[in-house]
Amino acid sequence: MPVSAATTTKLREAMQRLLTGEPFLTDGALTKENLAREAGVSHATVHRANNILAEWDAKVPRQVLRTPGEVRRDENIDDLRKQLREAKRQITELNGKLDALATVAANLYQENQTLRRKQGQRQRLATLPNPD
């Protein structure tokens, strides 16, 4: 069932607004769903308007799924994910070094305790006589 002349006019005006980057009701992405929203008609109505769909496909041969703002956002997210991966790598490396240093410190503490015990035993065994 074809669409009315009024609906065709709405769809053409909506298509023009989307193609010029001046949408009223949508985010501006060049999708058929946005075409329907921008025209104020249902998605099914858009698919019944075969002549409008043919014009749309001719003007938008490859659908752009993301707006420039979405592209920038996604690039920022990618950059932040790279930074996060690098930070996690550094944290893992530093945690390994921290564990190694904690082990060294524990060993030095034990050695220190052993040496103190030995030193204390020597002092008790080898006291010098009083020259009185």
pLDDT in tens, 34-65: 999 999 999 888 889 889 888 888 888 665 56
2/47 Cα distance (integer angstroms): 10
For helices 5-20 and 50-59, the axis angle rounded to 10 degrees is: 10
pLDDT number for residue 128: 60
pLDDT at 105 over 90: yes
8/114 Cα distance (integer angstroms): 93
pLDDT at 119 over 90: no
pLDDT number for residue 124: 53
| pTM of the predicted structure, to 2 decimals | 0.46
End-to-end CA distance of the chain: 127
For helices 32-39 and 5-20, the axis angle rounded to 10 degrees is: 120
- What is the DSSP-derived secondary structure letter of residue 49? -
